[in-house]
Structure 1
Amino acid sequence: MKMPAKSPAIIRLGVSLLIFFLIPFQGFSQNLIQGAQVFELHCANCHNFKDDGIGPQLGGLKGIVDKKYLLEFINNPKALIDANVARAQDKYKKFKSYMPSFSHLDPKDLQDVIAYILEKPSPKIIGKKEKLALENPIKEGIQFSGETINLKKILKFPFTYTSQVNTRINKMTFHPISKERIISDLQGKIYVVDDKNQLSEFLDISKHFPHFTNKPGFATGLGSFAFHPLFAQNKLFYTTHTEPEIKGPSDFTYGDSLRVKLQWIITEWTMDDPSAKVLSGKSREVMRVNVIDQVHGMQEITFNPYAKPGDPDFGLLYIGLGDGGALEQRRGFIPNNPEHAWGKVLRIDPLGRNSQNGKYGIPTFNPFVGKKGLDEVFAQGFRNPNRISWLHDGRIIVSNIGQRHIESLYMLKPGKNYGWPLREGTFAIDSTMSTNTVFLLPKNDAQFGYTYPIAQFDHDEGNAIMGGFEYTGKAIPSLRGKYIFGEIVRGRVFYIPISEIKEGTQTRIRELKMQLDALPITLKELVKANKVDLRFGQDAHGEIYIITKADGMLYQIVPSK
């Protein structure tokens, strides 16, 4: 059953099947082969039959759940949870998420997948002494800073998929020449927003790639984009997008016997006119990467905005590549390998040609060049490094969406290992047990050489972190010196003072409240949905914008009147 991407980790298709933990069921016979196919296509991202994933494990349910209530839950899950159905409430408290309605699901597919699941036995319990897992790893909550930010409505994006799914606005930056705001939609479009807040289409990537795939709920589609620092001269622009299965030879693979669910592609565009508001020109493929599942893909590409010509970092493209859902597929060896690309931040020179595929360059000073590890890797140990941004002093912050417990910010440095899949934030994961449980760090932790977050919060505070920006604008002096970020699902907005960032310790996170038209408001109240899908943008003047992907709205943080 397909559902909107969590990011992170909790609100996705997977949580949908927590329905199978509901009320006693009276079994029925269906096509198990078709049910297995439906499960593999829609459910296996977040579920297995051995232990809990993003949603609960589904083994041993026969005789536990009831068809009538199950179908009611699928059609309106929030209603059953709000009605205090005991089992629904129990799982909601455990997974801390609602799932959307599945009234659109084909009734036969639903019956087939239920029949398939009900044939799976309970997982075997291995007799071993259990460690003491942490249910509430970070007891101290995020406190209100006492500061309020003011929102101004800029525009609402048009429907681009169906009348049920609005835009999937995902990233905002600005045009290097015109300084106009440039905003992308996962569904394939990139827009220009001019000074009068008028919208025009810069690129529709779906018209250029016949295999372009976009599935709401799986972070597929047009992932990211970036202008080359010399764009005005070389006219080069970069995008990432997804294609299903194997549509071309991959530059990075993890084993012929394992499935390929998607491929992520980096494309270089050479524009005919760099000042044009509509992209025209030629394109070439730079890199193609297999991923084992639809989630945790290539959601970020970016250049160092502060590097100048002659600086070693000038013109180098940073690529945030998640683990591709490898842990959900019980394939932890994929990210946990320095010679693999997944779960890493990569760094390449798109103008060079000394890579294995001859389509890009590898900086000679990348940390693993000449050592054990992939030459393209800048740093490793990430589950989903969804945003990378620079502070004015040159330091780099990367946000990493966690699994079941910890959301974190890291100071990105070459050659460092940030722990995943053996660490989540400042906590340990036992690879012999469920990856959804965390433990205190072992006493001999220093010998492993992991680097820990500069800030973190657990799922009491929010389900998925969204990286943001240092405020460098002039309109709101009180925000200067703050790195603004937030939480995707609940739509909370946070900051950390840059002056307090110190590697090796966790900076205290503060929350910013919001108001619109001089009235207190939350993003959940504005969106009127259970999942806000928060994103941040920044314009050429350093001012910060808030995007609520759930309803396609763009807001600017503005001074109080």
Structure 2
Amino acid sequence: MKSIPFIVLLFLILMACTKPSPEFGADISQAQDQIIKGKAIFKEQCSSCHEFNSNAIGPNLSGLTRNVESSWIRDFIKNPQALLDAEDPRALGLLEKYRTVMPGLDGLSEDGINSILSYLHTFEFVIPDTDPDSLVNLIEAGIPDSGIVLDLEFFSQLPPSDTIPALAKMTKMEPLPQSNRLFINDQRIGIYELVEAEPRLYLDLKTARPKMVSKPGWGTGLGSFAFHPDFLQNGLFYTAHTEPGGTASSDFGYTDSLDVFMQWVLTEWKATDPSARQFKGSSREIFRIDNASQAHGMQELTFNPNAKKNESDYGLLYIGFGDAGTAEKGFANIANHQGSGIYSSILRIDPLGNNGKNGQYGIPENNPFAQIEGKAGEIYAYGFRNPNRIFWTEEGTMYATDIGQHSIEELNRIEPGKFYGWPVREGTFVINPYGSFRQVFPLPKDDAKLGVTYPLIQLEHDELAAIFAGYIMPYGPIKEKLIFGDILSGRLFFADLDQKPKPEVQSLKVRFEGRVMTLEELVGGRVDLKFGMDAEKNVYIMSKNQGNIYKILDSQ
């Protein structure tokens, strides 16, 4: 594992301990209306990552404007990547410590940026981060480079829906069941069908749901979609998208003392003609869930592809729903519900049933808590911070990736009714959800009494920042191994999930047009990695950075 270089630690310590200079912030307006405006912008754009009493996903910002030049802060808000490209030492230090690049707010006006600075300048004192740095060597063994190279070829590109850093925000590409038709989403727009590799807009969700919002840096907008296994007969498919908090009455919420920032909406669509290239038909809302931030919502919808018509799992919709940002906002009890709530859970519902909370969906009778008083019958498994990808092997074993808070990324083997630890565990470490998320502890001797199911694979944040799984590769040099990677950097890994006692994880590179490289080199910066598969079981790599899709070739 890589340790944080001493010079970076020294820089960060000096930054935290330096007395505020009267020169810093002298150019920042303290007009009351500008402070109020800045607070509103901060709440919408920044509060998911930054706090004023401790470090979170990003650094604690208390006292920032009194210790750092206003011009540097403005430049960083506009375009952090530009400072990294220029090898700015402060920006490099932040990247080394937090292992993620902040999305630039280049669409924000100068007045908006100045308003943010006005609000930041109301926090006068630096609160130093005194917690142990949990980034360093929690897991001693590093990930070896396998020496394996995957050959890629360009396949397709989605139309740009915004400017850099993400030209197109695709998260999922999968075929229509019982068909060779291939579909992909853009979180800002809707669902495209790739017809001979050319994107054609199938569902214009932006027009159909004008209240839909998609903010940069998080999984908002059209988070996921899934076609019913009988789509060719019934024309049904499902989407998850975000709307502003308070847009409509929610079916699932929480305490009034925590603001509702977003709402996730699960919708059923019924195509009049399932064979049509563009959707026409009707829709209905299945349910709506309150979210406390832009983060950790409904980012996965899927059906078990192995289930047959005569089996109980056929036609049941799996939904990955995270903690909605509640734990980071000090409301860990919402996530730590022990089966009584729907947050931090993988849900399983019958979209065609009607015995659910609002009568718009069904609760399968064989769900683990369906018959238990005081438990949420929708739950299949729980204790996840952000279960962003659910998949099955051909043998029927179910897995899910879970993006961690500050230290550990997880791949879990999913079993019904099991508790996977969040928000009192991160990987195989104890976390205090009411303390610092940067500080983790060894498991206690009596840990078994908590009943946590721990990850099959756990990786530390000095290896990757946000895990995302692909598929069990059906061909090529890593055949029958799981390919997965880091969303931000695009660093690729593979593992044999059947290896005992634990799967060994190795990294690999790609080759494009004869040149061996990393995905960061291929796309020219932050990757925003996702995977896709077509009906012929070809596997694809997707990058939001360029909106490009690359096919993994069958080569040795």
Q: TM-score, normalised by structure 1?
A: 0.89
- In the other structure, the counterpart of 2:555 is 560
2:537 corresponds in structure 1 to 542
Alignment of 1:57-456 (within 5 A): 57-61=60-64, 63-78=66-81, 80-81=83-84, 87-122=90-125, 135-161=136-162, 165-194=166-195, 196-337=196-337, 338-371=339-372, 372-456=374-458
Query: Can you list the C-alpha shifts for 1:139-168, whole angstroms capped at 9, x where unaligned?
Result: 211112232211011012111245875211
Q: Structure 1 residues 510, 356: closer, same or farther in 2, change over 3 A?
A: same
Q: Given that residues 254 and 340 in structure 1 are in contact (C-alpha distance below 8 angstroms), is that contact kept between their aligned partners in structure 2?
A: no
**Alignment gaps of 5+ in structure 2:** 1-14
Give the match for residue 47 of structure 2: 44
Aligned position for 1:486: 485
How has the CA–CA distance of structure 1 residues 528 and 433 changed in structure 2, closer, same or farther, with 3 Å as cutoff? Answer: same
Alpha-carbon distance, 1:85 to partner? 5.3
Amino acid at match of 1:536: F
* Aligned equivalents of 2:94, 2:537: Cα separation in 1: 42
Separation (CA, whole Å) in 1 of partners of 2:79 and 2:357: 51
Q: Structure 1 pair 267/80, CA: closer, same or farther in 2 (3 Å)?
A: closer
Shift of 1:82: 5.9
Distance 1:155 1:87, change over 3 A: closer
Deviation, structure 1 residue 62: 5.7
- Report what 1:12 is aligned to: none
Corresponding residue pairs, total? 533
TM-superposed CA distance for 1:560, in Å, is 2.9
AA partner of residue 299 (structure 2): Q
Distance 1:193 1:300, change over 3 A: same
Asked whether the 8 Å contact 2:103–2:216 carries over to 1, the reply is no
8 Å Cα contact 1:132/1:439 also seen in 2: no
CA drift at 1:30: 3.2
CA contact (8 A) 1:286 1:360 kept: yes
Q: Quote how far apart the aligned CAs of 1:524 are.
A: 0.7
Larger mean CA deviation between 272-281 and 210-219 belongs to 210-219
CA-to-aligned-CA distance 1:47-76 (integer Å, 9 cap, x gap): 122111111112244632222333344445
Give, in whole Å, the separation in 2 of the partners of 1:533 and 1:377: 29
Q: CA–CA distance in 2 between the matches of 1:85 and 1:280?
A: 51
CA shift for structure 1 position 482? 1.0
* Contact persistence 2:532–2:540 (CA under 8 A): yes
**CA displacement, residues 288-321 of structure 1 (integer Å, 9 cap, x when unaligned):** 1111111111110100000111211111100000
Unaligned 5+ runs, structure 1: 1-19
Say if 1:169 and 1:547, in contact at 8 Å, map to a contact too. Answer: yes
- The residue that corresponds to 2:6 in the other structure is none
Q: Is residue 34 from structure 1 mapped to residue 42 from structure 2 by the alignment? A: no
Q: Do residues 513 (structure 1) and 515 (structure 2) align?
A: no
Give the SS at the match of 2:116. helix
Q: Is the 8 A contact 1:30 1:112 kept in 2?
A: no
In structure 1, what is the equivalent of residue 461 of structure 2? Answer: 459
**Aligned mates of 2:308, 2:209 — CA distance in 1:** 34
CA deviation after TM superposition for structure 1 residue 117, in Å: 2.0
- For residue 14 of structure 1, what is the aligned residue in structure 2? none
**In structure 2, C-alpha distance between the alignment counterparts of 1:64 and 1:303, rounded to whole Å:** 51
**TM-aligned CA distance change 1:168 to 1:81, over 3 Å:** closer
Residue aligned with 1:507, SS? coil
SS state at 2:139 partner? coil
Residues 149 and 236 of structure 1: is their aligned pair in 2 closer, same or farther, counting only changes over 3 Å? Answer: same
Residues 233 and 48 (structure 1), Cα distance of their counterparts in 2 relative to 1, 3 Å cut: same
- Residues 387 and 101 of structure 1: CA distance in aligned 2, closer, same or farther (over 3 Å): closer
Q: Which residue of 1 aligns with 2:3?
A: none
Taking the aligned partners of 2:462 and 2:405, their CA distance within structure 1 comes to: 13
Aligned residues of 2:38 and 2:119 also touching (Cα < 8 A): yes
Q: Give the distance between the partners of 1:378 and 1:56, measured in 2 at CA.
A: 35
Question: What is the alpha-carbon distance in structure 1 between the residues aligned to residue 460 and residue 413 of structure 2?
Answer: 19
* Partners of 2:164 and 2:545 within 8 A in 1: no
CA displacement at 1:326 relative to structure 2: 1.4
Q: Which residue of 1 aligns with 2:8?
A: none
Cα pair distance change 1:377/1:121, threshold 3 Å: farther
CA RMSD of aligned residues (A): 2.5
Q: Which amino acid aligns with 1:388?
A: I
| Percent of paired sites with the same residue | 41
Please identify, of 459-468 and 102-111, the stretch whose mean Cα deviation from structure 2 is larger.
102-111
TM-score calculated relative to the size of structure 2 = 0.90
Letter in 2 for 1:396: M
Call closer, same or farther: CA 1:177–1:78 in 2, change over 3 Å. closer
Say if 2:225 and 2:238, in contact at 8 Å, map to a contact too: yes
How far apart, in 2, do the equivalents of 1:208 and 1:76 lie? 32
CA contact (8 A) 1:30 1:111 kept: no
Residues 72/175 of structure 1: CA separation in 2 closer, same or farther (3 Å cut): closer
Structure-1 separation of matches of 2:342 and 2:494:
31
1:495 lines up with 2:494 in the alignment: yes
